[in-house]
Amino acid sequence: MEDFLAKHSISTKIQIAWGEMDALQHVNNSVYFRYFETARLDFFNQINLLADLKTTGVEVGAQ
């Protein structure tokens, strides 16, 4: 894991809740999509994308 973190400067730690696992402590398949969304938004925050969009005048979302 240390090699991965050294090569990739942006990462997101996600705490796994007890209710996201089955009786054998496997994470439910559908939960991964929430993890991806959490990581995507955290990535945007880490690279300061939303602030850059405001300063460049690019609008976010459909009107």
Phi/psi of residue 17, each to 5°?
-85, 155
Per-residue pLDDT of the chain (63 residues; tens, 9 = 90+): 688 778 877 888 999 999 999 899 999 998 999 999 999 999 988 888 877 777 887 766 655
State how many domains the chain has: 1
Does the residue 20 lie in any domain?
yes
CA distance readout (Å), 59 to 6, 18, 45, 62: 34, 38, 16, 8
Q: What is the pTM of this model?
A: 0.65
Does the residue 61 lie in any domain?
no
Phi/psi of residue 11, each to 5°?
-150, 160
**pLDDT for the residue numbered 2:** 81
Domain membership of residue 48 as a residue range: 2-56
Tokens 């439910």 belong to: 28
**pLDDT for the residue numbered 16:** 92
Report yes or no: 40 and 12 within 8 Å, Cβ to Cβ: no
